[in-house]
Each structure stands twice: as C-alpha cells, then as structure tokens.
C-alpha cells in the first residue's frame, strides 16, 4: 500500500506572532518557521505503518514557496521515500489546496492520504475533508488511533463528547490529532540521507485547477488586550476578591 502525506510550512508554534501595523497580515520576516505540528503526526503515523510492513511507499507533498521544501525534507528525514513540491509563491485557500492535492492523488494513486487536522496559522480545519469530498472518499478526522486492516481502517476520533470509532473503506483521507503518536526526531545520518531522496517539482498554476481565492482578507488586527491584573498574597485574599470585587462566586 501507498500513503501520501501532506505537510505545510507555518510559523513555529512557539512564536508569539506580531500583527503588521498596516493591517495587511502578520510579520513573517526573520520568524522561525517549521512544519505544522499535526502534520508531523501524519508523517509519523505513515512511517509507523511502513515499519509494520503493511505500507510499501510514503510520498510527502507540500504546496508553497521554495522554502516549503524544508517540510518535505523533514518528512524524508524521518522516513518518507520521496517528495513532491508544488510551487506557489502566493497564499492558496484550503479549497484550492484540496484541488491541487486531488491532482497529486490522481497521479500517485495512494491508498491513504494523511494530513494534520488543522494548520495552526489560518486555523481553518478544512483541507482533508474537502479533499475527501472531491475524491468521493471517506474520511476520518481528528484521529487519535489508526488500525489498518486489509481493505479498511478502524479509526478512533477525538470528538467534543469523548471518543468515536469509525471504520472507513480504503482509499480514505485521515486527518491527524496531536495525540495520535509522538513524532520522532530525525537522526543526523537520516537527515544526510534525506538530501539524496528525490523531490519532484510541479507548479500550482500549471495543474489546470481553479485556485483563485474567493475569500478576501480585508484586514488583520490585534485582539483587544486584557487589562493588567494583580497578584494576590494568599488564598483568603483571592476568595475575597472573587466574592466581593469580581462578584463571580
């Protein structure tokens, strides 16, 4: 079996982002970037399935500018076999990303597509579901446990009420939760080896799909700031403040 895993380059999760003064977006110059965290879980799960002997090949794909290739290199360093970089220097909405991924799926014919459940930059939580719908495949979102069977997968999903188990026929799209696994670090020898693995190049606008953005970003601003609070000396003072000042208990 074959897995396609999609990875996205985003501002690192530890960075406190700064909104641009002109309201056009957030500062990205000289800001630490890395792979979207749940995408690392998607790669890790693919590698685990390969290690179990059930999967023969893992192809890692990213869509973005030249630097987005770093995310594919990282996936190659932890165990993906080859990469695909679909080049685009401009932002593409999840709808357009899903259309591009559909093209890649039609070319690669994987049995499963693994993605992170959400990107931590635009927080859209759409791409995997849209891709599944476009392919007319089943989906398992927010997955925290994956069991691969012969022609299907049993997936435990994290939902608001607790956990849900579904079984989806292959081929299927799986979006990964952070608790699915513990992503490994790439060893130095594997990072060196990954440099020799092939990365195919494509250009987004040459794929023959409509990737025009339909949602226009009018402005980006900082959320209202909270007023500075106070430190209380002890528990008795805390309870008294909550009772008499904030009047919430």
Partner 1 sequence: MSVLLIAEHNNKNLKPFTLNAITAASKIDPEVHVLVAGSGSESVAKEAAAVPLVKKVLHCDSLNYQNYLPENLAPLVTKHSEKYDHIVASANTFGKNFMPRVAAALDTSQVSDIIKVNSPDTFVRPIYAGNAFATVKSNDKKRCVTIRPTSFEPAPKTGGSAQIDKVDAADVPNFSKFVKREETKSERPELGTARIVVSGGRGLESGENFKLINDIADKLNAAVGASRAAVDAGYISNDHQVGQTGKVVVPDLYIAVGISGAIQHLAGMKESKIIVAINKDGEAPIFSIADYGLEADLFKALPEFLSELNKLNTIQK
Site for partner 1 in 148-207 (CB under 8 A): 154, 157-169, 177-179
Q: Is 98 in the site for partner 1 (CB under 8 A)?
A: yes
List 1, 33, 134, 199, residue binding partner 1 (CB under 8 A): 134
140 in Cβ contact with 168 (< 8 Å)? yes
Largest CA distance in the chain: 67
Identify which range of 55-63, 74-82, 104-112, 231-239 contacts partner 1 by CB under 8 A.
Answer: 231-239
Of 157, 186, 153, give the one whose Cα is nearest residue 169.
153
Q: Is 127 in the site for partner 1 (CB under 8 A)?
A: yes
The torsion angle over the Cα atoms of residues 52, 55, 57 and 59, rounded to 10 degrees, is -100
Q: Is 234 in the site for partner 1 (CB under 8 A)?
A: yes
Q: Which is nearer to partner 1, 83 or 171 (CB)?
A: 171
Identify which range of 59-67, 71-79, 194-202, 237-245 contacts partner 1 by CB under 8 A.
Answer: 237-245
With vertex at residue 67, the alpha carbon angle to CA 77 and CA 196, rounded to the nearest 5 degrees, is 35
Residues 31-60 that bind partner 1 (CB under 8 A): 38
For every residue of 170-197, DSSP letters joined together read: SSEEEEE-TTS--PPPPPHHHHHHHTTS
Q: Around 166, how many Cα atoms within 13 Å sit in the side-chain half-sphere?
A: 17
Identify which range of 39-47, 65-73, 186-194, 233-241 contacts partner 1 by CB under 8 A.
Answer: 233-241
Residue 147, H or E segment:
strand 139-148
Give the shortest CB-183-to-partner 1 separation in angstroms: 12
List 106, 123, 150, 206, residue binding partner 1 (CB under 8 A): 123
Of 100, 116, 232, 119, give the one whose Cα is nearest residue 174.
116
CB atoms within 10 A of CB 154: 14
Give the shortest CB-34-to-partner 1 separation in angstroms: 14
Q: Is 117 in the site for partner 1 (CB under 8 A)?
A: yes
For every residue of 93-109, DSSP letters joined together read: -HHHHHHHHHHHHHHH-
Q: Which is nearer to partner 1, 191 or 209 (CB)?
A: 209
158 in Cβ contact with 192 (< 8 Å)? no
Q: Is 242 in the site for partner 1 (CB under 8 A)?
A: yes
Residues 206-225 that bind partner 1 (CB under 8 A): 213-223
Identify which range of 54-62, 72-80, 113-121, 188-196 contacts partner 1 by CB under 8 A.
Answer: 113-121
């Amino acid at each position: 079996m074959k897995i396609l895993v999609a990875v996205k380059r985003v501002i690192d999760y530890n960075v406190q982002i700064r909104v641009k003064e002109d309201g056009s977006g957030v500062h990205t110059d000289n800001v630490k970037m890395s792979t979207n965290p749940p995408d690392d879980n998607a790669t890790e799960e693919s590698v685990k399935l390969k290690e179990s002997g059930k999967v023969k090949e893992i192809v890692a794909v990213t869509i973005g500018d030249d630097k987005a290739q770093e995310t594919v290199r990282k996936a190659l360093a932890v165990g993906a076999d080859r990469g695909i970089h679909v080049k685009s220097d401009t932002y593409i909405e999840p709808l357009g990303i899903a259309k591009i991924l559909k093209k890649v799926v039609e070319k690669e014919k994987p049995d499963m597509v693994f993605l992170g459940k959400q990107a931590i930059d635009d927080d859209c939580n759409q791409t995997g579901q849209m891709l599944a719908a476009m392919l007319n495949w089943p989906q398992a979102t927010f997955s925290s446990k994956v069991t691969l069977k012969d022609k299907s997968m049993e997936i435990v999903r994290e939902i608001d009420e607790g956990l849900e188990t579904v079984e989806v026929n292959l081929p299927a799209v799986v979006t990964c939760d952070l608790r699915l696994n513990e992503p490994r670090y790439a060893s130095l020898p594997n990072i060196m080896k990954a440099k020799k693995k092939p990365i195919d190049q494509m250009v987004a606008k040459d794929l023959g799909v409509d990737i025009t953005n339909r949602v226009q970003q009018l402005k980006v601003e900082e959320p209202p700031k909270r007023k500075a609070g106070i430190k209380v000396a002890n528990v008795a003072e805390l309870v008294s403040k909550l009772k008499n000042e904030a009047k919430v208990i």
